[in-house]
Chain A
């Protein structure tokens, strides 16, 4: 249902959508509607009538106790059922860390997202790393680990099409993972208030085919070589 309105572009997105939909149907559609219907039925049933005095209900009769024992009990059962469903999803998305095929570093700061991609050698923290601001380039159907850091204050890295949201905390390196399943360009947001420019730090994730990704990498490497060869002319 959610994917009709917001593309699901990672292996986790469908599972998270399923949990959101279960919560929606159980909490909103069933319990909320039932509670409101009961409330209005009580308003109607026990409205003021001529000759009927108001009375204080002590809740000692079994018929009255049902309302405060059975109904919360059913709510609790629903909570446990939802927890039973979302536990495995939470474990898979947030607590497990399947082996990575690529690793990227994501840096939050006031007020921009910047990224370190592995270069052609496929390894991070080597000389051929590709650093970008605003644009994260990834390859479709490839499992990524991300190393999330903050240069200053709390941020939260969010990719809505992945249904991914992870806080960035100064002084900590937080590792997570995602696996894109659809090519395209999608939004990256900060979803933790981080200062006056919080609303002005959008970035993009560009999910590419292997060929597109290789072409991008080659183009970046060519740019770096051109800049490096120009540097001595500038005064060194």
Chain B
């Protein structure tokens, strides 16, 4: 029989197990997704919060439909095959490493199950006040709260890395992203990015987006 002093320890351990994070159930149900995530986390971080040094954005908690779509875009060369898409070219071979569509679905499900992480700001010089007005056209698809809209194919922005949003806005504007005729959703962003006249305007709207609470 266990000594009496061990009982509180056992009870505490049991309580900890029962109080495991909400993602744990999804985690266990999606063993393949978790296995594949081991590869992703080398750049995106164990919590999926992203690593600017590796040009890997925050992806934790992104909806399954968006992660699946972008992984397929990378897989099919719709994204990550433009000469100036430096970060996209890093991601493309990673997507090619996913050999089957079932793997794409599994890892996207795992990414979606991760608790969203608000990444630390990297950009400086943006004005949220000035960006509020610039955000008006974005509302139509991404919503006033920045939570995105699946029907329109617009991802949530509330946990996006600020440096990543700047890069992607520049890419859309320059035709680095969204110019492939197969990238139907990306093409929608091209004229939107062109509404922002310069980098300062982009920083301003991003500064505003980072104030949005999920």
- Number of chain B interface residues as a range: 20 to 34
When each residue 89-113 of chain B gets 1 if its CB lies under 8 Å from chain A and 0 otherwise, what string results?
1101110110000000000000000
Residues of B contacting A: mostly: helix
Tell me if B42 is interfacial: C-beta within 8 Å of chain A: yes
Whether A131 contacts B94 by the Cβ 8 Å rule is: no
Whether A114 contacts B83 by the Cβ 8 Å rule is: yes
B195 touches which of A111, A201, A235 (Cβ 8 Å): A235
Whether B190 contacts A235 by the Cβ 8 Å rule is: yes
Q: Which residues A85-123 have CB closer than 8 A to chain B?
A: 107, 109-112, 114, 116
**Bound CA span A154–B61, Å:** 34
B194 touches which of A133, A134, A196, A235 (Cβ 8 Å): A235
Whether A110 contacts B179 by the Cβ 8 Å rule is: no
* CB contact under 8 A between A197 and B93, given known A131-B83, A133-B82: yes
- Nearest A residue to B178 via CB reads A234
- Number of chain A interface residues as a range: 20 to 34
How far does the Cβ of B8 sit from chain A's closest Cβ, in whole Å?
44
Contacts of A110 in B (CB 8 A): 89-90
How far does the Cβ of B76 sit from chain A's closest Cβ, in whole Å?
13
- Nearest B residue to A236 via CB reads B194
Residues of A contacting B: mostly: mixed
Whether A111 contacts B194 by the Cβ 8 Å rule is: no
Tell me if A151 is interfacial: C-beta within 8 Å of chain B: yes
Whether B90 contacts A133 by the Cβ 8 Å rule is: no
**Bound CA span A112–B88, Å:** 10
* CB contact under 8 A between A151 and B190, given known A112-B93, A200-B96, A227-B175: no
Q: Which residues B155-187 have CB closer than 8 A to chain A?
A: 175, 179, 187
Contacts of A114 in B (CB 8 A): 83, 89
- Nearest B residue to A231 via CB reads B175
Whether B86 contacts A111 by the Cβ 8 Å rule is: no
Tell me if B214 is interfacial: C-beta within 8 Å of chain A: no
Tell me if A132 is interfacial: C-beta within 8 Å of chain B: yes
B89 touches which of A112, A131, A231, A236 (Cβ 8 Å): A112
How far does the Cβ of A110 sit from chain B's closest Cβ, in whole Å?
5
**Bound CA span A196–B41, Å:** 11
**Chain B residues near A (Cβ < 8 Å):** 39, 42-43, 80-83, 86, 89-90, 92-94, 96-97, 175, 179, 187, 190-192, 194-195
**Chain A residues near B (Cβ < 8 Å):** 107, 109-112, 114, 116, 131-134, 151, 196-197, 200-201, 227, 231, 234-236
Known pairs A110-B90, A114-B89, A116-B83; list 18 more (Cβ under 8 Å).
A107-B83, A110-B89, A111-B90, A111-B92, A114-B83, A131-B83, A133-B80, A151-B86, A197-B93, A200-B93, A200-B94, A200-B97, A201-B93, A234-B190, A235-B190, A235-B191, A235-B194, A236-B194
